[in-house]
Structure 1
């Protein structure tokens, strides 16, 4: 005879007052499993995410980036690597089309993105590999590992930070750098 049980509980942390639901499942032919909803945070959001969120109030691309990044983090947190990989693919496409317009295909967008100087040739190769991993999930039933998805998200976060934040940050650094001294050329007497 086969039996199965599911016990739901609402629990609250005595330290931070966080409330979660706990599900304890078990059966006569399986081990007991315990799940928490929402699950523990998988990855801390980057420090610039708050700035991106503030800018999202003002324009569409920042809103799209915030929404896509949030969905990717949720997919990672909930053990959905395929959805996270597809989200990274969409995120990269959004960044490229924001900067160079939609050229028709991923390859054409990536070429234009590199040609206009937003990325180096090495970065272009990396982005192409990440785009292919996202496409493989959709078209070739690929299941990326957690480490694969982490690497893809690392690349996407670094690209967003570089494209949307580094120019302003470096401009601020440049304002604090003292000017080079000016030297006069002295004519030699012969």
Structure 2
């Protein structure tokens, strides 16, 4: 079983439990006959247990770098050496992408890559490309949901409504998403930033509910034991005549 430790994941940009795939400890010391210095560097190849990114983690301390605190009871001095941590790659730039998008990579890698590129376009202000990405992401989501790929986008929205994936109001908002994407793709129409954010929220809610949460619910359902069949009660026998 792999060892784990807590570290700052450069992709999640927060402290996560990580697997250790390799590690090396390097204590060191120096002296010139009058002065001395010592410390230690620890190196790890780590994998985040959440998003599964693999990264390099270095932590180290130096006897010449120290802080003083005080024991709250005895008031004695406590000397500690602060630990310096370096990770490579460095933490990623803050993204508009919600955390649940990483779960899509395991469910459907193609949908994940479409969303990745759509968010990149959004974050760089390329709203025409981002709007086309919304339409493409919706189209791929319907494929994940086993909707006939030969249908038009409008027919797919209607079928999602008929099969109970979405309600009447959501079907209308998703039609707006697909219409906006088509206008961006074929007529170079660009939504405003506020308008795009509304369309994005609509699509995010649809994908999270039907693909991410829906799949999780089905996995839980598969673990629930089936109800045992009912044993039919014996029919009452007519009283025998004397």
Q: How far has the Cα of 1:50 moved from its partner? A: 2.3
Residue 122 of structure 1 deviates from its aligned partner by: 0.8
Task: Structure 1: state its 5+ residue gaps.
Answer: 1-14, 21-38, 56-61, 177-190
Q: 2:109 aligns with which of 63, 76, 83?
A: 63
- Residue 53 in 1 paired to residue 82 in 2? no
Task: Give the CA deviation at 1:151.
Answer: 1.6
Q: For residue 133 of structure 2, what is the aligned residue in structure 1? A: 87
1:46-78 Cα shifts (integer Å, max 9, x gaps): 2222222233xxxxxx11110011001100111
Following TM superposition, by how much is the alpha carbon of 1:104 offset from its aligned partner in structure 2, in angstroms? Answer: 2.6
Indicate the residue corresponding to 1:131 in structure 2: 178
Alpha-carbon distance between aligned partners in 1 of 2:86 and 2:182, rounded to the nearest angstrom: 41
TM-score by length of 1: 0.61
Q: Name the Cα RMSD after superposition.
A: 2.8
1:79 to partner: Cα distance: 1.2
Question: Under a length normalisation based on structure 2, what TM-score does the superposition of the two structures give?
Answer: 0.49
Contact residue 103 and residue 109 of structure 1 kept, 8 A:
no
Q: Report the counterpart of residue 98 of structure 1 in structure 2.
A: 144
More strand by share: 2
Sort the Cα spacing of 1:54 and 1:96 in 2 relative to 1 into closer, same or farther, 3 A: closer
Give the structure 2 partner of residue 76 of structure 1: 122
Of the two structures, which has the highest relative contact order with CA contacts closer than 8 Å and spacing of 6 or more? Answer: 1
Could you tell me which residue of structure 1 aligns to residue 213 of structure 2? 166
Indicate the structure with greater helix content: 1
Alpha carbons of structure 1 residues 156 and 77: separation in structure 2 relative to 1, 3 Å: same
* 2:141–2:211 Cα contact (<8 Å) kept: no
Across the two proteins, how many residue pairs are aligned to each other?
Answer: 136
User: In terms of Rg, which structure is larger?
Assistant: 2
Contact 2:135/2:177, CA 8 A, preserved across alignment: yes
Task: Return the alpha-carbon distance in structure 1 between the equivalents of residues 185 and 214 of structure 2.
Answer: 34
